[in-house]
Structure 1
Amino acid sequence: MTTYQVNGIELCAETFGDPADPAMLLIHGAGASMIWWDAELCTALAARGRFMIRYDQRDTGRSTSFPLGAPGYAMSDLAADALGLLDALGIERAHVVAQSMSGGTALILGVDHPSRVASLTFVSTSTGDEGLPPPSMPHLAEPDYDDPAAVEEYVVRAIEAEAAGHFDEAAARALVRQDMARARNYRASLTNHYAMTFDAPPYSSLARPVPVMPVLVMHGDADPLLPLPHGEAVRDAIPGSRFVVLRGMGHGLSAPYWKTFVDEVC
């Protein structure tokens, strides 16, 4: 893992594979650091001829943390961070894969910087349109952030609620403990992305008879956070996009679906 100076902040990133291969940039969802993209998955993608990049977005992991509840940045700043990281790595163009809320970040890259994007993949994301079905997950009470055990339990139970039956408690707990240990401010990681300014363009901005780059939309049909119609709305907003339904998958890209994911994005 290496820390890069980007846009006046520090971003921690890790790469896998041969830098001569086509680059693929992984952007995880709100509050999730790079390690939510499992190293085994990144290695499998690299074995398919991709130079893999995962990174801690601002306010996650070892990257710069901002004032709690008042981060002062926008989603467009997250997109600028992604471009700045590519610049720091000497990469002109990358396949961009975005999970959940970071679909908005990927959309900015595709609309405003199409020359830097070889393809776009949206995983478990949404257009955010009114009328889409609400989450069906149970409500989890916010933890006492001064109690690490309570925070750990809160995040583990959130993973369980999103998993739709594909829940490995030992793996989830290990992930959360590692994530907490790496974070500069874990409370900011869990909250600040929801407090930023959302200035992404509408998904219809990519709607053209032929997309400017290949677009893949992947969504689990058992997603309790963003039910399947959210993924269908992204598909419908981008004519020409390819839509893959992952049968039985919840919100997170769980291990039983890694092979399918690798096959589809490579």
Structure 2
Amino acid sequence: MKQPLLLLHGALASAAQLKPLARDLGAHYAVHTFSFGGHGGQPLGAAGFSMDQLAAEVLAFLDARELAAAHVFGYSMGGYAALVAALQAPARFRSITTLGTKFDWAPETVAAETSLLDAETMRAKVPGFAAHLEQLHAPTPLPDLLAATASLLRNLGSHPRLTPENLATLPVPTQVLVGELDTTAGVDASRRFAGYLPRATFEVIQNTSHPLEKVNPDLLARRISHCIETAP
């Protein structure tokens, strides 16, 4: 029987972002994906979404698929959600691999991350990207999605969910990957937070920036597989 593997997408994306990776890994693992609330056609609640809600959606998905425990890969925001969920229910996670996950949220870093999260600004500066997001996430209106994302980031800035103290208690084997050129997650911050995890490995992927499509897909699949196969 194939081991279950759940793939989690990043902010402003959907499960479609992970189709190539799911295809590569599907020969060896029982691969699952889903889109978080408000993303990829999933409804956006009246209150938007929070990191706690995203983590709850991860656990709810495992429940719905009757998966007692699974290996998880999370890209960017998906990696953060996976770790928050694992802190709540570590027995549900056999291993976690994160890629490009920003760990060091603080009020001063949020401003830069949210500066483009305004629909009119985005339509003026990057109209093609704005149109892509509107199509990808319909029927969620783009202004609502961007406002909910900005709210999530501001909340992380004032109340980070991953801290040195709680990460030090996490027993799940974790692999932290970051691109050498990733200025969003940052190599130094990623290395520092990986050091808080008692069962973590850390790797810098050379000549690689933050977007998932910039990562060598074969290398990423191999790294995820290695983490799965070496987990107890």
TM bucket normalised to smaller: 0.7 to 0.9
Aligned residue number for residue 88 of structure 1: 64
Aligned residue number for residue 148 of structure 2: 192
Q: What is the TM-score with the length of structure 2 in the denominator?
A: 0.79
Partners in 1 of 2:22 and 2:85 — Cα distance?
22
Partners in 1 of 2:212 and 2:74 — Cα distance?
11
2:224 is the counterpart of 1:224: no
Partners in 1 of 2:199 and 2:122 — Cα distance?
48
| Cα contact 1:246–1:257 (8 A) shared by 2 | no
- Partner residue of 2:25 out of 34, 39, 45: 45
| Cα contact 2:171–2:199 (8 A) shared by 1 | no
- Partner residue of 1:117 out of 93, 98, 105: 93
1:188-212 C-alpha deviation (Å, 9 max, x unpaired): 333312313446242541325xx52
CA spacing shift, 1:182–1:107, aligned 2, 3 Å? closer
1:32-81 C-alpha deviation (Å, 9 max, x unpaired): 211122x222110112x2111111101111211234xx52x431121111
Q: In angstroms, what is the RMSD of aligned CA positions?
A: 3.2
1:133-167 C-alpha deviation (Å, 9 max, x unpaired): 89999x758453896x97642459xxxxxxxxxxx
Q: How does 1:88-237 map to 2 (within 5 A)?
A: 88-128=64-104, 142-144=118-120, 152-155=127-130, 176=132, 180-187=135-142, 188-196=144-152, 197-198=155-156, 200-207=161-168, 212-237=171-196
Q: How does 1:246-265 map to 2 (within 5 A)?
A: 246-254=205-213, 256-265=215-224
CA spacing shift, 1:257–1:191, aligned 2, 3 Å? farther
1:157-186 C-alpha deviation (Å, 9 max, x unpaired): xxxxxxxxxxxxxxxxxxx37x72452214
Partners in 1 of 2:125 and 2:109 — Cα distance?
30
Secondary structure of 1:222's counterpart equals coil
Q: What is the TM-score with the length of structure 1 in the denominator?
A: 0.70
CA spacing shift, 1:257–1:155, aligned 2, 3 Å? farther
| Cα contact 1:103–1:122 (8 A) shared by 2 | yes
Partners in 1 of 2:96 and 2:150 — Cα distance?
23
Q: Which amino acid aligns with 2:151?
A: A
| Cα contact 1:207–1:239 (8 A) shared by 2 | yes
Partners in 2 of 1:21 and 1:84 — Cα distance?
21
- Which sections of structure 2, spanning at least 5 residues, go unmatched? 226-232
- Which sections of structure 1, spanning at least 5 residues, go unmatched? 1-19, 157-175
Work out the number of aligned pairs and report it. Answer: 218
| Cα contact 1:59–1:193 (8 A) shared by 2 | no
Partners in 2 of 1:203 and 1:265 — Cα distance?
24
Q: Which amino acid aligns with 1:96?
A: V
Partners in 1 of 2:119 and 2:137 — Cα distance?
19
Partners in 2 of 1:105 and 1:22 — Cα distance?
21
Structure with more of its chain in helix, by fraction = 2
